[in-house]
């Protein structure tokens, strides 16, 4: 096995792995002199190292040789004075090299530059090739077709231009092909449809034109397809409905036309469908809406929805309410309706519904008329009777509108479909949402401005959140970079303070029960707000927990003890907060890491290795200390034993305490060390 690892200060990793199971034609072994010449000409070592010609190159910093005197290992991870251009090294002159680590080096402004060396194409045993997140230029060499053992090819987030070589279709063992975030043009070669082992395909963020090849629908094992942010035209091929293993499909930010194929509704495993900012038109198939939990349609003004939808039977009651769609601009869920007419100012207690005043000009946010006439007229006028041009998304239960009210206030309006409004089973959660949001007052909890409950028109009116959900922001490369370390640290602290307020400062403690990145909304300043109180519950002061007949929450954020107990307690929220805090630092859901915490795995994971690679490596001491604190607290919150988890008040107070200097360098801190620190502190 040969591995090449090169990560810059931006935590970029470049890994090349060779499998020992394939044969390769032997070539004449280069001499030791040619190996030394290759090292010297690379320019990676300063003259202070290479100037002494009496020393063998095997004694150079980070260089190791085997018994025959041939270079077999280069490890320059700790030598920050190394510089140069990656492509200056002639790897063909180093046949015995089995390990190359250039992490944290300074290869030309701390990133790799130049074109992809053609010598790479001679490495027939290559199984993993990762050049992501650098400044590589030039075209993708067609000779990559020679790497027939290749399983992973990741050249994303560079400046690669030209077209996608159709020769890639020869690499039948490829499971992951990531070419997103480059300058690739031309069309998508149909030959990609020959990659039958492919599970992940990312071509997003390029300049690709033409139509989507229907042949992609033959890649049966595909689970993730990203073609977003290109110049694709034509219709969405119905053949994509054959990809029954698909989980994530992103076709947003193109110029696609025509209707949404009904066949997309066949993708019963699809969790996320992004179609925003195209030129799609026609009806939204009801089977698509019912089947897929998360859909965005923003920017397709000619799309509309009709017909009755029914809840898809495969969605369990645990996450039933999540069929409400996160719609880029705002995520509002658990809206439940009934048969009574309610239309009131949100700050008024629900028991005061019979009290009402009227104001001729219908100032929407300060006065709500008891009978709803003036406020209702304001809504109708502001949305032009719910014209589609104000709609920023639609889902199985309703549509979300962005509108400006007569007083100039911009709000988000969630309007339910009429057939859902006729279902009385939603009444309890709707009232629950209104009840809690009218009683809580915290700067990091979403504001409910008002609501209307009537069989003919039902909606909730919320504070408008310009940047949508944290889930969306972390999965959008542009917004993720805008969400820098300082903003991420602040928003985690804001979430902690909001939960601490709910658990410890309300007249009766409130347990949210569905803390997830989907239910954390971001305003224009990327500040966090806790939303979605449809499943929240009040706790009795006399008992540590209440009990419920159902498990609710979002898969991946639910505390493990809920598998064997139906008790509602604060520690369930604490666990969910731990997942969200780690997700914010990592830029993705920490599924594997969370699972290792509950096993006896001895694998130790370094903290800096899990951080979001889209952000620069944290150099400032204050930022590094805060990241360590957040991960430390997150791991404590994820303790399998609820009694071992801290309270949200303890977590919130920890952010306010003075941060002590780190006991060891940031890059030497591991997750196991942080976890042991908490467990040892608990035992003392």
Q: Note the pLDDT of residue 544.
A: 54
Which one of 344-348, 383-387, 457-461 scores highest in mean pLDDT?
383-387
Q: Note the pLDDT of residue 45.
A: 79
Q: Note the pLDDT of residue 509.
A: 87
Assign 417 a pLDDT band (cuts: 50, 70, 90): low
Q: Note the pLDDT of residue 625.
A: 92
Q: Note the pLDDT of residue 323.
A: 67
Q: What is the pLDDT of residues 449-475, one digit of tens each?
A: 777 766 556 777 888 899 988 998 999
Assign 27 a pLDDT band (cuts: 50, 70, 90): very low
Quick one: residue 351, left, alpha or beta (phi over 0 = left, psi -120 to 50 = alpha)? alpha
* Distance (Å, whole) CA 63 – CA 101: 10
Assign 328 a pLDDT band (cuts: 50, 70, 90): very low
Q: Which of 419-423, 482-486, 577-581 has the lowest mean pLDDT?
A: 419-423
As to burial, measured by CB atoms within 10 angstroms (0-12 exposed, 13-18 middle, 19+ buried), residue 23 is exposed
Per-residue pLDDT averaged across 196-215, rounded? 94
Assign 397 a pLDDT band (cuts: 50, 70, 90): low
Per-residue pLDDT averaged across 154-170, rounded? 89
* Distance (Å, whole) CA 668 – CA 73: 22
State percent of the chain over pLDDT 70: 70
Q: Note the pLDDT of residue 215.
A: 95
Q: Which of 7-11, 38-42, 78-82, 581-585 has the lowest mean pLDDT?
A: 7-11
pLDDT greater than 80 at residue 412: yes
Return the number of other C-beta atoms located less than 10 Å from residue 408's C-beta.
7
pLDDT greater than 90 at residue 124: no
Q: Note the pLDDT of residue 28.
A: 45
Assign 46 a pLDDT band (cuts: 50, 70, 90): confident
Q: What is the pLDDT of residues 307-317, one digit of tens each?
A: 333 333 333 22
As to burial, measured by CB atoms within 10 angstroms (0-12 exposed, 13-18 middle, 19+ buried), residue 646 is buried
Quick one: residue 8, left, alpha or beta (phi over 0 = left, psi -120 to 50 = alpha)? beta
DSSP string for 363-399? -TTT---TTSHHHHHHHHHHHTTT-GGGEEEE-SSEE
Rg (CA), the chain: 28
Q: How crowded is the C-beta side of 131, counted as CA atoms within 13 Å?
A: 20
Q: Which of 36-50, 53-67, 138-152, 524-538 has the lowest mean pLDDT?
A: 36-50
pLDDT greater at residue 27 or residue 65: 65
pLDDT greater at residue 213 or residue 433: 213
- Alpha carbon distances (Å) from 221 to 197, 246, 412, 481, 577: 6, 8, 39, 31, 34
pLDDT greater than 70 at residue 639: yes
Q: Note the pLDDT of residue 89.
A: 77
Q: What is the pLDDT of residues 268-297, one digit of tens each?
A: 899 889 898 899 998 888 788 778 877 877
pLDDT greater than 70 at residue 162: yes
User: What are the structure tokens assigned to 244, written together?
Assistant: 């029954």
Q: Is 514 a catalytic residue?
A: yes
Q: How crowded is the C-beta side of 594, counted as CA atoms within 13 Å?
A: 24
| CA nearest to 512, candidates 445, 453, 424 | 445
pLDDT greater than 90 at residue 77: no
Q: Note the pLDDT of residue 221.
A: 92
Which one of 18-22, 299-303, 365-369, 625-629 scores highest in mean pLDDT?
625-629
Q: Note the pLDDT of residue 432.
A: 67
- Alpha carbon distances (Å) from 260 to 278, 297, 306, 502, 604: 11, 10, 13, 42, 46
pLDDT greater than 60 at residue 492: yes
Assign 344 a pLDDT band (cuts: 50, 70, 90): very low
Residue 302 φ/ψ, nearest 5 degrees: -100, 10
Q: Where are the beta strands (DSSP E) in 513-611?
A: 520-522, 528-530, 537-538, 546-547, 567-568
Per-residue pLDDT averaged across 110-130, rounded? 68
Report the alpha-carbon angle 195-201-207, nearest 5.
115
Contacts of 59 (CB under 8 A, 6+ apart): none
- Which of 226, 514, 532, 573 is an active site residue? 514
Q: What is the pLDDT of residues 593-636, one digit of tens each?
A: 877 765 555 567 899 999 999 999 998 888 999 999 999 999 99
Q: Rounded to an integer, what is the distance from CA 526 to the centroid of its chain?
A: 15
In eight-state DSSP terms, residue 110 is T
* Distance (Å, whole) CA 489 – CA 483: 10
Residue 72 φ/ψ, nearest 5 degrees: -125, -5
- Alpha carbon distances (Å) from 173 to 120, 196, 483, 496: 17, 8, 36, 45
User: What are the structure tokens assigned to 151, written together?
Assistant: 């399983």
Q: Note the pLDDT of residue 497.
A: 94
Contacts of 65 (CB under 8 A, 6+ apart): 56, 58, 71, 72, 73
- 240-269 burial by CB neighbour count: b if 16+ within 10 A, else e? bbbbeebbbbbbbbbebbebbbebbbbbee
Q: Note the pLDDT of residue 599.
A: 59
């Amino acid at each position: 096995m040969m591995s090449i690892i090169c990560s810059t200060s931006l935590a970029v990793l470049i890994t090349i792995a060779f499998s020992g199971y394939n044969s390769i034609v032997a070539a004449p072994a280069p001499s030791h002199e040619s190996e030394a010449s290759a090292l010297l000409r690379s320019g990676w070592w300063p003259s202070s190292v290479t100037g002494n010609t009496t020393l063998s190159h095997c004694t150079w910093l980070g260089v190791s040789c085997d018994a025959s005197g041939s270079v077999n290992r280069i490890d320059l991870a700790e030598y920050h004075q190394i510089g140069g251009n990656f492509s200056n090294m002639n790897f063909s002159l180093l046949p015995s090299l089995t390990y190359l680590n250039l992490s944290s080096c300074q290869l030309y402004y701390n990133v790799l530059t130049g074109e992809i060396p053609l010598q790479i194409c001679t490495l027939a045993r290559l199984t993993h090739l990762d050049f992501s997140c650098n400044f590589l230029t030039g075209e993708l060499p067609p000779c990559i077709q020679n790497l027939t053992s290749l399983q992973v090819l990741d050249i994303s987030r560079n400046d690669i231009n030209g077209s996608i070589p159709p020769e890639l279709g020869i690499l039948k063992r490829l499971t992951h092909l990531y070419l997103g975030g480059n300058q690739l043009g031309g069309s998508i070669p149909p030959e990609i449809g020959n990659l039958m082992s492919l599970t992940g395909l990312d071509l997003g963020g390029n300049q690709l034109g033409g139509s989507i090849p229907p042949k992609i629908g033959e890649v049966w094992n595909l689970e993730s397809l990203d073609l977003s942010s290109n110049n694709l035209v034509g219709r969405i091929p119905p053949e994509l409905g054959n990809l029954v293993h698909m989980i994530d499909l992103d076709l947003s930010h193109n110029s696609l036309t025509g209707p949404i194929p009904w066949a997309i509704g066949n993708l019963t495993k699809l969790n996320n469908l992004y179609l925003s900012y195209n030129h799609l038109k026609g009806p939204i198939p009801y089977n698509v809406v019912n089947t897929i939990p998360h859909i965005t349609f923003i920017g397709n003004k000619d799309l509309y929805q009709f017909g009755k939808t029914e809840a898809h039977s495969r969605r369990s009651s645990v996450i039933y309410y999540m069929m409400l769609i996160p719609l880029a601009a705002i995520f509002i869920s658990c809206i439940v309706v009934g048969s009574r007419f309610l239309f009131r100012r949100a700050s008024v207690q629900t028991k005061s519904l019979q009290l009402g005043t009227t104001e001729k000009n219908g100032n929407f946010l300060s006065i709500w008329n008891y009978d709803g006439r003036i406020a209702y007229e304001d809504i109708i006028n502001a949305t032009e009777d719910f014209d589609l041009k104000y709609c920023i998304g639609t889902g199985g239960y309703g549509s979300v509108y962005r509108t400006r009210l007569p007083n100039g206030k911009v709000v988000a309006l969630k309007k339910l479909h009429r057939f859902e409004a006729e279902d009385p089973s939603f009444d309890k959660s709707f009232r629950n949402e209104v009840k809690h949001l009218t009683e809580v007052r915290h700067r990091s909890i979403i504001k409910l401005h008002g609501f209307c409950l009537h069989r003919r028109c039902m909606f909730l009116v919320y504070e408008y959140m310009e940047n949508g959900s944290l889930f969306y922001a972390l999965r959008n490369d542009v917004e993720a970079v805008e969400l820098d370390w300082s903003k991420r640290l602040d928003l985690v602290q804001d979430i902690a303070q909001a939960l601490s307020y709910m658990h410890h400062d309300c007249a009766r403690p409130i347990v949210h029960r569905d803390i997830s990145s989907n239910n954390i909304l971001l305003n224009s300043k990327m500040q966090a707000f806790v939303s979605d109180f449809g499943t929240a519950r009040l706790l009795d002061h006399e008992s540590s927990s209440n009990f419920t007949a159902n498990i609710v929450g979002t898969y991946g954020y639910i505390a493990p003890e809920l598998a064997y107990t139906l008790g509602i307690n604060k520690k369930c929220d604490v666990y969910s907060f731990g997942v969200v805090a780690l997700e914010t630092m990592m830029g993705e859901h920490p599924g594997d890491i969370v699972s290792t915490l509950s096993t006896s795995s001895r694998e130790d994971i370094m903290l800096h290795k899990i951080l979001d690679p889209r952000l620069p490596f944290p150099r400032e001491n204050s930022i590094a200390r805060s990241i360590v604190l957040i991960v430390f607290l997150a791991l404590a919150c994820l303790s399998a034993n609820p009694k071992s988890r801290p309270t949200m008040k303890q977590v919130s107070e920890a952010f306010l305490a003075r941060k002590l200097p780190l006991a060891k360098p940031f890059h030497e801190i591991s997750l196991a060390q942080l976890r042991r620190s908490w467990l040892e502190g608990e035992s003392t």
